[in-house]
Amino acid sequence: MCARGVSWLASPSVTGSESYHRTRGGPESMVRRVFYSGVDRPNPVGRSRGQTRDGYEAVELLVNDAARGSRSAMDESEKLLRWFESQKRLLPWRESREPYGVWVSEIMLQQTQVQTVIPYYLSFLRQFPTVEDLAAAPLEQVLAAWSGLGYYRRARQMHSAAKMIAESLDGFPSSSRELERLPGVGPYTAAAVASIAFGEVVPVLDGNVERVMARRLALAEDPKQSAVRKALFGAAASVLDSEQPGESNQALMELGATICRPKRPVCDECPLKQDCLAQQQGNPESFPAPRRRRTIERFELAVAVVRRDSSILLFRRPEESALMAGMWELPNVPLSRSVEVMAGAFEGKYGGCWKLELTDTIINHRITYRALRLHVHLGEFKAGHSVAEGLEAAWISREEQVEYAVSSAVGKIVASCCSWY
Ligand code: SF4
């Protein structure tokens, strides 16, 4: 029960197929709603009414309730919008609702922090100002522009999607349903782009919104469970402003990023505190249930820096690599105690004839769930020998790096032990 005697979503059902939406006025005005249809993903709502996509039928009811006059939901949604208007961070992708820019920002922001994304976003849009420019650019150039941002599959998929839009679609897809057909665009990204750029009344459920809603409902269950996800999605829908869905969605995401943080949420400054069950219970950090983290896999690698004048020798990872396909990296093999054994391993992997000298430099580097300890060696690739068949190698100077999709580990290593580079 909330502080004002209003249960915003009483008894959120995470196991059944229905829940209750109670308006101010007490039990007698409690309205039973068919909450979920038991299918896995949300219906589009608002403008997309009538398109039945994957269940969540009550999302539409909830949004429309808010629009029609469920005062609690309206209050919440208005408070949220007012808070966002006064507190939102000024970010470059918020300067325009142009769909291409919104899409680029949403893809870049997946798994990546805002401050990291800003310079990449600005430089990416300078290089590829329109979706047609992106489609026309060689993949290598797109990967080079993405270099250092990580999760390179995103760049490959964006490039494929841009080609699809430029070559076979009639303009930029304008609904979440159409957007989801693009490579690399899942339900969250589709909803974010559709609501921000096209005003589609569809809620988003990213990690930040998930946390805010789990706390408002005091749901301790795993948000990845289908039923829990449905409850969180419905809760997000109920505070969605049907007139300004893009602003409303951004407000919720911003709230999760800046106020309802994983640790030490600032409940005193939260526009949604009045009806937040976790805040009333005094234990917001207990929600949602912690995610089961993937076990970190650790690798010890020997990395060779081979110098020629002011360039270093880099190899291109095969296109079929599961990880960082097509990226340029320093040659590396599993670490061994014997330099001779490792020289043999370099020869086996890259061809040529290798001489190695161990340095004191060890670099720790993370790639998703892989933790790499990179033991840096100065290497010699003896003249007269060529690289193994099928491999691409290049001597690359610092100035030339912008033209190549170079893995971020290269930058870390040369910065720590190659002052000449
Ligand atoms: S009141 Fe606190 S826990 Fe609840 S949504 Fe706001 S910041 Fe999060």
Say whether both 126 and 174 belong to one domain. Answer: yes
Among 4, 209, 216, name the best residue to mutate to test ligand 1's pocket (greatest count of ligand atoms within 8 A of Cβ). Answer: 216
249 shares a domain with 381: no
Residue 270 CB less than 6 A away from ligand 1: yes
Give pLDDT, residue 387: 78
The residue from 262, 286, 310 where one domain ends is 286
Does residue 226 belong to any structural domain of this protein?
A: yes
212 Cα nearest atom in ligand 1: 5
| Final residue in a domain of this structure, among 286, 305, 332 | 286
The yes-or-no verdict on residue 287 having pLDDT over 50 is: yes
Q: Is 22 in the pocket of ligand 1 (CB under 6 A)?
A: no
Check whether residue 273 and residue 140 sit in a common domain: yes
In this structure, the residue with its CA closest to atom 2 of ligand 1 is 267
Domain containing residue 151: CATH number: 1.10.340.30
Q: Is residue 320 part of a domain?
A: yes
Q: Which atom of ligand 1 is nearest to the CA of 256?
A: 8
CB distance 284 to ligand 1 below 6 Å: yes
4, part of any domain: no
> For residues 133 and 322, which has the higher predicted lDDT (pLDDT)?
133
pLDDT exceeds 60 at position 11: no
Whether ligand 1 lies within 6 angstroms of the CB of 229 is answered as: no
The arithmetic mean of pLDDT across residues 264-268, rounded, is 98
* pLDDT value, residue 396: 95
Q: Are residues 169 and 267 in the same domain?
A: yes
Q: What angle do CA 108, 364, 342 make, to 5 degrees?
A: 120
- What distance in Å separates the CA atoms of residue 331 and residue 322, rounded to the nearest whole number? 17
Residues 6+ apart with CB under 8 A from 216: 8, 235, 272, 275, 276, 277, 278
Nearest atom (ligand 1) to Cα of 284: 3
Judged by average pLDDT, the poorest of 4-8, 79-83, 96-100, 121-125 is: 4-8
Is residue 223 lining ligand 1, measured as CB closer than 6 Å? Answer: no
Which CATH number covers residue 308? 3.90.79.10
Q: What residues have CB less than 8 Å from 415, skipping those under 6 apart?
A: none
Residues 228, 312 within the same domain: no
User: Alpha carbon 8 to chain centroid distance?
Assistant: 30
pLDDT tens digit string along 40-83? Answer: 333 333 333 333 343 344 444 444 444 444 556 668 999 999 99
- Residue 276's nearest CA partner among 339, 212, 340, 227 is 212
The overall average pLDDT reported for the chain is: 84
The yes-or-no verdict on residue 34 having pLDDT over 80 is no
Residues 111 and 246 grouped into a single domain? yes
Which candidate in 76, 106, 200, 221 is catalytic?
106
Same domain? For 91 and 157 the reply is yes
Per the structure, the count of domains in the chain is 2
Distance, in Å, from the CA atom of 105 to the CA atom of 189, rounded to the nearest integer, reads 10
In a domain, 22, yes or no: no
Q: Are residues 145 and 116 in the same domain?
A: yes
User: Helices (DSSP H) in 259-407: which residue ranges?
Assistant: 277-281, 339-350
Output the six-digit token pair for 296.
């970190």
Give, for ligand 1, the residue of 260, 277, 281 to mutate: max count of ligand atoms closer than 8 Å to Cβ: 260
Please identify, among 257, 286, 315, the residue that sits at the C-terminal boundary of a domain.
286
Q: How many whole angstroms separate alpha carbon 408 and alpha carbon 414?
A: 10
Q: What pLDDT, on a 0 to 100 scale, did the predictor assign at position 298?
A: 97
Q: Is the CB of 276 under 6 A from ligand 1?
A: yes
Residue span of the structural domain in which 74 resides: 66-286
The reply to whether 410 and 310 lie within a common domain is yes
Band (419; pLDDT cuts 50, 70, 90): confident
Most informative mutation of 267, 268, 275, 286 for ligand 1 (most atoms within 8 A of CB): 267
Quote the percentage of the chain above a pLDDT of 90.
71
| Same structural domain, 227 and 303 | no
Burial 308-325 (b: 16+ CB within 10 A, else e): eeebbbbbbbeeeeeebb
What is the C-alpha separation between 242 and 68, in angstroms, rounded?
Answer: 10
Residues forming a β-bridge with 370: 297, 367
In a domain, 32, yes or no: no
Token look-up 């009483």 returns 10
- 36 Cα distance to chain centroid: 27
11 falls within a domain = no
Clarify whether 140 is annotated catalytic. no
170 with 267, same domain: the answer is yes
> Where do we find the tokens 């057909």?
181
Distance 288 CA to ligand 1 centre (A): 12
Spacing, Cα 309 to ligand 1 middle (Å): 57
Query: How does pLDDT run across 197-253, given as a tens digit for each residue?
Result: 999 999 999 999 999 999 999 999 888 889 999 999 999 999 999 999 999 999 999
Specify the pLDDT at position 70.
53
Cβ count within 10 A of residue 339? 15
Residue found under tokens 């005003």 = 199
Q: Quick one: 276 and 363 in the same domain?
A: no
Spatial contact of 59 and 237, defined as CB atoms under 8 Å apart:
yes
**Residue 228 beta carbon below 6 angstroms from any ligand 1 atom:** no
179 lines ligand 1 (CB under 6 A): no
Q: Give the model's pLDDT for residue 20.
A: 27
- Give the residue, by CA position, lying nearest to ligand 1 atom 8: 260
Distance of CA 106 from the midpoint of ligand 1 (Å): 24
114-164 pLDDT per residue, tens:
999 999 999 999 999 999 999 999 999 999 999 999 999 999 999 999 999
